[in-house]
Amino acid sequence: MGDEVALVTGAAQGLGRGFTEALLRRGAKVCVADVKVQTGEATVLRFQQQFGRDRVFFFKCDVTCEADVKAAVQATRDRFGKLTIMVNNAGISSEAQWSKMVDVNLKGVIDGTQEAVAVMRRDTGGQGGVVVNIASAAGLIPVHTTPVYAATKFGVVGFTRSWAANPHLASLGISFACICPTFTDTDMIVHGDFREGRSLYTEDSQRMMAEVGVMPLSQVVTAFEQLLDSPDNNGIVMSVTNIKGVRVRKHGRPSRL
């Protein structure tokens, strides 16, 4: 993977930071994009000390701002010459801020994907690659405690599968896949405060987390690497759970309605 170039959104901490470290270990060059400047710069400094200053850089990016996303993609190309892996990871969880959650979780993924496709597609001079969208198990099953969050993640899954079903992928040279983890040991989950509107029903949410369990971040990162290593990852919807581990659903082109 030494010649791969990746852009990871929401990469200052949590899963995004874990995906970035995995990519760097595999030899890729990475743009760490995040709205959290101080945290992002500190993360990149540690990575530069470990992997080299020429391998990773930070770019301030609010995924709800189309200009920011476009600029992050352009900055990655300017720095490394191309883009071959796009990881749309940025996300929030707050039913009290449902409109912002739609903007970050769904519109941010859509915009990131569209911008990546524009520069990666081989039929217009790009080198192809893969788009990995981070959804959630809440995008596969109903979740009454977080209906808007679930809606955004269902949207990410449907959006990704629809791109994967594109009959013109051979000319694009791009594959599309998504990962759907359950509760993971990140700041969003472990230190989240349900009393501040993350969930509609606090006790139900806490009970659900206790029943399902909280996975170590490394479990999702390992699944991410498994996805990258799959010889045919287009259309993969990968669920990662504490109970059943990694399960891969492969979706081909759907039949006509």
Q: What are the start-end ranges of the E strands in the chain? A: 5-9, 29-34, 56-60, 85-88, 129-134, 174-181, 236-241, 245-250
Strand-pair category, 5-9 with 29-34: parallel
- Is there a contact between 93 and 146 (Cβ–Cβ < 8 Å)? yes
- Is there a contact between 29 and 4 (Cβ–Cβ < 8 Å)? yes
Residues labelled as active-site residues: 149
Residue 237 DSSP class: E
Contacts of 208 (CB under 8 A, 6+ apart): 145
State the residue for tokens 């995008």.
Answer: 139
* Separation of alpha carbons 232 and 97, rounded Å: 37
- Is there a contact between 41 and 67 (Cβ–Cβ < 8 Å)? no
